A and B are shown apart, each in its own frame.
Chain A
Amino acid sequence: MSATRVQLISPRTLRLLSPGRSALFLPGGGGPHRGGGVPGFRSLIFPSLSSSFSSPGRALSSLSTTRRGLPKTKMSDNGTMSRGKVLTIDNMNPTVKKVEYAVRGPIVQRAVELEKELSEGRKKPFAEVIKANIGDAQAMAQIVFLKYKNKDAKSRACRILNSCGGNSMGAYSASQGIGSVRQDVARYIERRDGGVPCKPDNIYLTTGASDGIVTMLKLLVCGEGATRTGVMISIPQYPLYSAALAELSAVQINYYLNEEKCWSLDIGELQRALDEARLHCNPRALCIINPGNPTGQVQSRECIEDVIRFAAKERLFLMADEVYQDNVYAEGCQFHSFKKVLFEMGPEYSETVELASFHSTSKCYMGECGFRGGYMEIINMDDDVKDQLTKLLSVRLCSPVPGQALMDLVVNPPQPGEPSYERFIKERTSTLSALAEKARLTEQVLNTVEGIRCNPVQGAMYSFPRITIPEKAIQEAKKLGQQPDMFYCMKMLEETGICLVPGSGFGQREGTYHFRMTILPPTDKLKILLNNVKEFHQRFTQQYS
């Protein structure tokens, strides 16, 4: 069986999956992949494939449980399943092959299998799989969705419904989003930014922030070869960006955040990355995630001003991913919106710098990820280009209406004087302070472990500690064709049931290793989790010393 599986990847297919135009070598996600055909970041295609070859058992196990036994397609004589198919790896869209998304990648697939095995009564060294890989507050039964029943809820509901076609959430909305919701979003932004005006016409309601980000990137990518659009993105980053850039065949330009200085952003590093990139592509956009994912750093006001000046000087389109704007915990840290800072820097900047800022219903204190609600605000975009953006969005008709309605609630919470206000404030404060406490706890516990170094979690919902992996383990990982931190995380999953995402899925400096874990589990579970991580790390270090 394993021999036949291995034959699935014909040499021809291998040749086709050759590295693309990646600007910098970026450690990608290795490890077992279903079907053996899913490549990592472009520069790491071969290691990903070889992992399937050298660990066919792994590939098999991940295949068999999720595929429920033998595949239905008949094998032809030479064992190649794809023969005779109209749509094959060879003739499908080549850009799709370049995409990888670590947050739902192979480690999660393995976690799902383990959950199934547990439910079937198989014995494991742990009683449950803890999925601390994805920022899903609802799944952690954590955040109580405030569904206020009384008058202010009713009046909001009426307003939203009146703006829907046929007064129903079941009707399509305008593709830019329901008018009254966009007005409310604009008012929210004005309140948040101390009065800086916001036009509803610059607001687009999207299917989660991801929809907006991917659409903007799609809009901006053009050119060929040396004039191909380059997009600057922080390392570490949220892999939606790398996935989208890979698929669009845009050039990914990495700028490294400074781990020693609590993941801060350094303009000198931005300049270095940009200057190097200019030699082989046309850099046009700069993406920044603030508060950061996976790092959780909250940028200072000075830093934001520096970035704006840099973007202005270098004529870059600024994409500010601010989905965690409501999740700031650390003392002395404050969220500064890019737009506010931009406008406070005077017309020289506020009238020229092009900015798109993104928010979503998936994070903040509401954490309603399943609704897929989000918005983007577009500033200083050329009118004709804006028309193209509107056109592009209209192809998908509209974003889910419940998500739009939810966005309205996020930006339009109960105000002082309204009946639901007290309860709302209470729930929100307790949620946020619980998160702050968990952030502190996480940093504290992990820093007691030799070989783990955890920066303070200033915001967002994750911790991204650096781990020291013994040389022997690194060698073992190499033999299996896995990234060392993937190897580490897989072992952790098998031994403790804890599912984390290896740092290689987000990008990190060569020779360093990390993992990302969410701080969302309830405090008592989190304590156990942290303890288990600590014990595992000690065991692992011992085992491979």
Chain B
Amino acid sequence: MSSMKEVNPMVLGIRDPVSLQSLAARITEQIAQGEQKPFQRVIDVSSGDPHRAGMPPLSFARQVLAVCLYPKLLKESSFPVDVRQRAEKLLGACNGGSVGSYSASSCGIPQIQKSVAEFITKRDGGVASDPEDIIFSSGSQRTLKLVLHLLSSGQGPTQTGVLTPLPCPHTLPILLDEVGVKLVPYRLLEERGWTLELEELHRALKAARRHCEPRAIYISNPGNPTGHVQDLKTIEEVIRFAASERLVLLVEEVYQDSVFGQDKKFLSYKKVLFEMGASYSERVEMVSFHSISAGTMGECGLRGGYMEVINMDLLVKNFLTSMQGPCSPPVLPQLALEIMVNPPSPGDASYEVFTQEILQKVETLTQNAQRACEFLNGVPGMSCQQAMGLYPCLHLPAEIIQEAKRSGLRADVLYCKKFLEEEGVCLGPGSENGHDDENYHIRLCISAPAAVLEDVLKRLQSFHLRIQDRHH
């Protein structure tokens, strides 16, 4: 029988995932089997999965997808006329007029590449986007993996390194492990609301060069998990830094639609790049990522995302575009992407309902962010930066830290485990986001109905106070 010593060492090297999700599944199973718990169901707010938390999908999107799946509905008058027109247009873009056929190319459906390019051009005030620079895949995790895989080479001191924010998206470290790329952290400044500091970038790069070959810098803007939105000055600094230090810019912008309140505005890296003049816009190699998983669409399960590839060497780009040859991207999520970049316009039959739904979500998210931040800052032993992400810092009693050591767990993981068992809420431990020292954090997603979040906050407060009391 195959044994552990015959497993690919790269696979063995992928760090073990924190097992909170499986614990949550076990508890859900126990509840289903009638076991008594101090809560009725498990609420999972550990990652951006709005539908799981109870946020409804966008009607227009689901209606169009439904008609695409079952074209007989094109004749169904109960569906608004613009829904049916859009579905017809999208079906026309699919091979054989069906969502069940393979994408025409391994990069995706050409007409949708075009729609996405048009969206980007409009968003960036006219900075042109070429449909051939757009590559689709099943979610931004996979699109990012394609590029990282392309970058990955070398071993030991020549191993490719990527500068990565600390904290970073919790799905990133395992991805870097899988493709064999070294994670080089640069610390975001918590006291200033998780800003990116140029000095820190320099320090991280210098340190990294001693033991690997840094070839790229990963940016999450708006930040995951922090919610921080970078200003123009920061973005320009990063671009200059990438240019002078010869790093590929990997810019994850999946939350670009989720910037509300706080007088902040999303600025796309590409737009800023092009406004910095030809010496940057023609040289800096950049890949930006977007997906349907975040924002108001929240369609994580459909697995749809795209990347825009800028200034990449043509020969290398050829490889990138054919990498998905045998595993072309799924069709349905590409259609959802098209809907995301091309929503109903004023005058369209669905416009009113669509706008209403968006406004409701925006309101919910804005209120959630504000409420949660104020609330948590009022809990002794917790402090939270004001942003669209919830990533509070925790003060943990020494006893918890010791108990954690004894059980071989990180203290924040133990905290989350206890919270899950006692209150039925699944949070994300900061160690998944890279915080592996005594700087304990937890991660909560605000993309949930207000009532659900309120419940979560109250339980968190009561739990946190309880454990502080317990250990005094």
Contact = CB atoms under 8 A, between A and B. Distances in A.
B332 A371 contact: yes
B11 A219 contact: yes
A403 B100 CA distance: 10
Contact of B318 (A38, A220, A391): A38
Interface string A394-430: 1111111111000000000000000000000000000
A89 B49 contact: no
A87 B44 CA distance: 40
Nearest to B283: A84
Interface string B323-365: 1011111111100000000000000000000000000000000
B103 interface: yes
Contacts of B323: 96, 99
Interface string A293-321: 00000000000000000000000010000
B199 interface: no
Contacts of B299: 170
Nearest to B282: A74
B51 A168 contact: yes
B4 A398 contact: no
B171 interface: yes
A146 B202 CA distance: 59
Nearest to B181: A93
B49 A139 contact: no
Contacts of A71: 314
Contacts, number: 284
B312 to A, nearest CB: 6
Nearest to A316: B2
A392 interface: yes
A445 B152 CA distance: 50
B325 A396 contact: no
Given A71-B314, A388-B12, A174 B21 contact: yes
Interface string A370-393: 111000000011101100100110
B181 to A, nearest CB: 10
Contacts of A94: 153
Interface in A163-196: 164-166, 168-174
B248 interface: yes
Interface in B160-200: 171, 174-175, 177-178
Interface stretch (B118-126, B139-147, B433-441): B139-147
Contacts of A382: 1-4
Nearest to A390: B17
B302 A210 contact: no
Interface string B55-70: 1010000000000011
Given A172-B301, A391-B14, A397 B139 contact: yes
Interface stretch (B90-98, B383-391, B393-401): B90-98
B105 interface: yes
B102 A136 contact: yes
Interface of A: 8, 13, 34-38, 66-68, 71-74, 81-82, 84-89, 91-94, 96-97, 99, 101, 103-105, 112, 134, 136-142, 145, 147, 164-166, 168-174, 207-208, 210-211, 214, 218-222, 239-240, 243-244, 284, 317, 352, 354, 362, 366-372, 380-382, 384-385, 388, 391-392, 394-403
17 contacts: A35-B318, A38-B319, A72-B130, A92-B151, A96-B150, A136-B96, A136-B101, A139-B95, A166-B49, A168-B301, A370-B99, A371-B331, A391-B17, A395-B14, A400-B330, A401-B303, A402-B301
